[in-house]
Structure 1
């Protein structure tokens, strides 16, 4: 069984993967319940969109602040152990919120506190989840496993909100925003179901067995020294440093237009329904790209690095084409193509990182990458929001696409990325 093209049946015969897949399905569907219920709960309590932004910031700020610390602790302990603890903690936090909603004892102050606690948990869960697979699956299974698990996430993002909406409606939530929580029974039920999903997925994760024992924390340096060692590891590795800087630059020009310019494009083309169609097209393309990565994991142009640069060049060209969109179906077609390329790249990059980075450094390295992306996302959104009023919508897409092509050329000429191999 080769690393590039493993036997498709080998993954499903792996007991660890079957437990991960089952728990992942439960957890991802449950997450969608909170993603739908929490914003609506905030609006019912406050009637103020600013309060919703405050709650999202309460989740995002501690997540970003503690992300690097979370990565260091994951490496000092084990991804599986930390992920288990975060699942239990989230079950308690979200279950408490659901119970408070059902008993009509919740207020905005409690929502802010629980949101911040959830954000802290996610700072540990994100690097733990990213670092988990190499410790429980053989290297040959990483690419197909990532393809299936990421594809499953896209399916959950499509089906989960529908299920959540049915549960909330069936629970009797018929009130308007700002109307209080007297009729919020459906929201409380949705939150409790998510809490239950965390417990069930924790039970499946507990059945996963690591391939090797993790050295005890007593044999490892102090936390601050461990954090510095992780940053030094990523900086001193010339190839890894080049990739992180390259991906950060690409994220700067991708995330803002997707967050800001895309809703404005939908508004110009038709409204909220159009926005839903465009986002669904992008999500469907992502799913197709992830499935393609599972069917053809060895699909490459020369090598991994060249494939990465060419694919990012295609993304830049697709963004330039978005500047000329005059109809919904043009936007749908381009976003499907954009999603296919992006989905394939996500699986390929994640699998490469999991093989490339030393296992004892993986939590810290992935935490750093997520920290960079999460830090650049609001900056990119703010920059795009300002530029839309200055240069117009079409120029945002075209300018972002041109900037991506410039980054690709610089990556090809000035970095070792084009020489990257699979190992």
Structure 2
């Protein structure tokens, strides 16, 4: 009988290499990356435009609220519509809507005819469109690649997203400076107008690439295919009821809600205040710390793709261990007095968070039935986008009565306590990403 050494087992195929050979995946990720890069141009250009027009931070806050509040209010409805009509159809429609809105905004800026009420109206419309594009975009991947390749696909996609978040602001800032930043009024805002035009162009090109994508065939149950479409609000309620009945999903969603409420505010509010109020830091230090966090997040996503089986026991236990470490790293943030200290802490926090972000996305997409993926992803995004403003408001109120050192210590300590409570009182530590049949 021949020895096993005579016929060695073939090496395991690299799922990332297989994905990159898949034209559907290439069309989807290239278009998504282009859109995400274009979005960074608008995220930089719009606040700058408002400040140059009015110089009023209250107006800027109103514009940002007009974009974020409708997104939070309608994102669950967006998820229900995604499940009814398919992620690709909804995403394609939102791309055309954003193309028109941003092209209109660009034209108004370049012609010098933009007024404040137009900014309000267009910001509201863009916010409404994102309430539907976000659940559609985050739900499409399971319809394009096989389930076995989801983790590698999410790692590549989220890594590209993180890369665009790093490069986009740099390119947008350079463009605005070179071609006109509106410092002498809207007549000199050519750079801002071009930034909006490039974002509009990115939506047009990505709509073309999305049209090239062919989704996987999915057989719908006969009963479902013959039934009348369910009312949207009833569909939302059905999804929420399903997630509540699933003990592991319910536990994770509640846990992430607590994380969003207690942690997101200090990250978004206290870190810039720390940089501006510490004499040895400043704006450059703030940028360096954010850059370190972004680099760490990107590295964590890459590592998640390279080591798909890396666990501390189960998936749930890995989440708890990583979050506990993040909490411990967050505690000393209020005591730093050098750029390298803040950058090192933010790099480590980003590395751990990026690694788990890929795992969590993949776990939700694999666990939830295909007909509920849109609602599941919209709920996940609502937790971090809808609750973040509440957390920021609470953080701003707390900062009137406690010091930054106390705030960071309390925030990190709260995260450690939440991890301990989740470990003892909930089934989170038992959550596994094994296939449903194995569970």
Alpha-carbon contact 2:281-2:337 (below 8 Å) kept: no
After superposition, residues 5-24 of structure 1 pair within 5 angstroms as: 7-24=15-32
1:102 aligns with 2:107: no
Q: Does 346-355 or 31-40 show the bigger shift?
A: 31-40
Q: For residues 213-292 of structure 1, what are the structure 2 equivalents within 5 Å? A: 213=218, 219-267=228-276, 268=278, 269-292=280-303
Q: What's the offset of the Cα at 1:174?
A: 4.8
State whether structure 2 residue 53 is matched by structure 1 residue 45.
yes
- Which residue of 409, 422, 436 maps to 1:411? 422
Distance in 2, matches of 1:174 and 1:346, equals: 36
The alignment status of 1:317 with 2:321, answered yes or no, reads: no
Alpha carbons 1:6, 1:141 under 8 Å: kept: no
Which residue is equivalent to 1:340?
A: 351
1:352 to 351, 354, 363: 363
What is the TM-score when the length of structure 2 is the normalising length? 0.91
| Structure 2 partner of 1:362 | 373
CA contact (8 A) 2:293 2:346 kept: yes
Alpha-carbon distance between aligned partners in 1 of 2:197 and 2:181, rounded to the nearest angstrom: 19
Contact 2:297–2:351 under 8 Å retained in 1: yes
Q: What secondary structure, in the 3-state scheme, does the structure 2 residue paired with 1:182 have?
A: helix
1:321 deviates by: 2.7
Q: Could you tell me how far apart the structure 2 residues matched to 1:180 and 1:196 are?
A: 25
- What is the match of residue 156 of structure 2? 148
Q: Is the 8 A contact 1:290 1:344 kept in 2?
A: yes
Q: Deviations for 1:6-44, whole angstroms, at most 9, x for unmatched residues?
A: 533111112211111211221121111111111111122
Q: Work out the CA distance in 2 between the residues paired with 1:305 and 1:229.
A: 26
Q: 1:247 to 1:106 in 2, by over 3 A?
A: same
How far does residue 417 in structure 1 lie from its aligned partner after superposition? 1.1
Number of aligned residue pairs: give it. Answer: 418
1:63–1:123 CA contact under 8 A, matched in 2: yes
* Alignment partners' CA distance in 2, 1:199 and 1:314: 42
Contact 1:76 1:217 (C-alpha < 8 Å) held by counterparts: no
Which residue of structure 1 aligns with residue 400 of structure 2? 389
CA shift for structure 1 position 120: 0.6
CA change 1:66–1:170 in 2 (3 A) is same
CA–CA distance in structure 2, aligned partners of residues 94 and 405 of structure 1: 43
Residues 78 and 214, structure 1, Cα contact 8 Å, conserved in 2: no
Mark the CA change 1:7 to 1:365 in structure 2 (over 3 Å): closer, same or farther: closer
In 2, distance between residues paired with 1:160 and 1:249? 31
Distance 2:420 2:14 in 1: 33
What is residue 208 of structure 1 aligned with on the other side? 213
Provide Cα deviations, 1:289-348, integer angstroms capped at 9, x if missing partner.
Answer: 111111112111112111111111111111113233232211111110000001111111
Q: Is the 8 Å Cα contact of residues 251 and 373 (structure 1) preserved in structure 2? A: yes
Q: What is the CA-CA distance between 1:376 and the residue it aligns to? A: 1.9
Match of 2:193 among 188, 194, 206: 188
- The DSSP-based 3-state class of the residue aligned with 1:391 is coil
Structure 1 residues 332, 123: closer, same or farther in 2, change over 3 A? same
Q: CA RMSD for the aligned pairs?
A: 1.8
CA displacement at 1:217 relative to structure 2: 9.2
Change over 3 Å in CA distance of 1:175–1:97 after alignment to 2:
closer
Structure 2 unaligned regions, length at least 5: 1-11, 435-439
Displacement of 1:72 in angstroms is 0.6
Q: Unpaired segments of 5 or more residues in structure 1?
A: none
The answer as to whether partners of 2:67 and 2:123 remain within 8 angstroms in 1 is yes
* 1:294 pairs with one of 305, 319, 329: 305
Q: What is the CA-CA distance between 1:388 and the residue it aligns to?
A: 2.2
Greater gyration radius: 2
> 1-side partners of 2:236 and 2:166: how far apart?
37
Which segment drifts farther, 85-94 or 218-227?
218-227
Q: How far is the alpha carbon of 1:202 from its aligned partner?
A: 0.8
Say which of 197, 203, 207 aligns to 2:202: 197
Q: Take 1:386 and 1:58, find their aligned partners in 2: how far apart are those partners?
A: 22
Give distance in 2, aligned partners of 1:90 and 1:213: 29
Q: Which moved more, 1:15-24 or 1:68-77?
A: 15-24
> Partners of 1:45 and 1:392 in 2: how far apart?
34
- Within the candidate set 65, 80, 88, 2:96 is matched to 88
What is the distance in 2 between the residues matched to 1:317 and 1:96? 47
Shift of 1:214: 7.6
Asked whether the equivalents of residues 72 and 382 of structure 2 are also in contact (C-alpha less than 8 Å), the reply is yes
With the length of structure 1 as denominator, give the TM-score of the two structures. Answer: 0.95
Distance 1:217 1:253, change over 3 A: farther
